[in-house]
Amino acid sequence: MQRKTMDELERKSPEELSEAEKQPIIVILDDVRSMHNVGSTFRTCDAFAVTALYLCGYTPAPPHRDIHKTALGATETVNWKHFETTADAVEHARAAGYKILAVEQAHDSIMLNTYQRGNEKTALVFGNEVTGVSDEILAIADGCIEIPQWGAKHSLNISVSVGVVLWELVRTPNP
């Protein structure tokens, strides 16, 4: 095997990406504290060409050296906005026609591997590294999806969760 060259990857330029059709997905970070997680989320949102990334509450926002270090330029290619509260971000997404799904281990959650998005515009809320998605947001979300896990630990890093969920939602053909 031989690694593909940058030309063979046929990646879009930042200008081309800004004009390209996006996945009808918004990622919402609910009081995420780690700049590494924020930067990694930017990079993952770029990879999956999501519509937007909403940073909420005390979630750090660009410009910041530690975010840029992990994002590798994705802060310039992903549409993002900061909201004072996650509830404000949820209402903004809902008003734009997005179904709000918390990504959390909760009663009555739908396992990610069985969830079918169809053609719905979807906003995904990822919570704080320690406390998860806040109870306030769980109460106003339209539903909850959960990543199945089989190990001894009960959670994944936020940036890993974002990648897993986005991959599952975009890889599965819409019915």
Residue range 110-138, pLDDT digits in tens: 999 999 888 899 999 999 999 999 999 99
Given this model, what pLDDT does residue 174 score?
A: 59
For the chain, the straight-line distance linking the first and the last C-alpha, in angstroms and rounded, comes to 35
Given this model, what pLDDT does residue 18 score?
A: 80
Q: Is the CB of residue 103 less than 8 Å from the CB of residue 142?
A: no
Residue 8, both tokens:
């063979």
Alpha carbons 165 and 119: distance in angstroms, whole number: 16
- For the stretch 137-152, pLDDT in tens is 999 999 999 999 999 9
SS3 164: helix
Lowest mean pLDDT among 51-55, 86-90, 116-120, 142-146: 116-120
pLDDT of 157 strictly over 70: yes
Question: Domain locations in the chain?
Answer: 21-146+155-171
What CATH architecture does domain 21-146+155-171 belong to? 3-Layer(aba) Sandwich (3.40)
SS3 68: helix
Residue 152, both tokens:
């001894």
Mutual orientation of helices 35-47 and 158-171 as an angle, nearest 10°? 10
Q: Is the CB of residue 51 less than 8 Å from the CB of residue 170?
A: no
Which among 74, 76, 94 has a CA at the least distance from the CA of 28? 94
